[in-house]
Amino acid sequence: MKDYQNSDYAINKNAEGIVYRFADQTVEVTLEDYLRETYGKTSADFAALKAFSDEDYYRTDRSTYRQTWKNTSLDTLADDKNEMFAIHSVEDEVFERVEQESVYAKRRSTAALALDKLTVVQRRRYLMYHFQGKTTREIAALEGVNQSKIMNSLTLAEKKIKKILSNSKKQGVQNAPFFTLYKRTCPPTVL
- In the predicted model, is pLDDT for residue 75 greater than 50? yes
Lowest-confidence segment of 62-71, 112-121, 162-171, 178-187 by average pLDDT: 178-187
Residues of the chain with CATH 1.10.10.10: 95-185
What is the share, in percent, of the chain residues with pLDDT greater than 90? 19
**How do residues 153-173 score in pLDDT, each as one tens digit?**
999 998 988 888 787 766 655
Name, of 70-79, 155-164, 172-181, the range with top average pLDDT.
155-164
The rounded distance, in Å, linking the Cα atoms of 40 and 107 is: 91
Mean of pLDDT values over 162-185: 60
Whole-number Cα distances in Å, 171 to 75, 109, 110, 165: 45, 13, 11, 10
Lowest-confidence segment of 19-23, 84-88, 94-98 by average pLDDT: 84-88
- The domain 95-185 having CATH identifier 1.20.120.140: the answer here is no
- State the greatest distance between any 2 C-alpha atoms of the chain, in Å, as a whole number: 110
The rounded distance, in Å, linking the Cα atoms of 96 and 114 is: 27
pLDDT of residue 73: 67
Spatial contact of 164 and 110, defined as CB atoms under 8 Å apart: yes
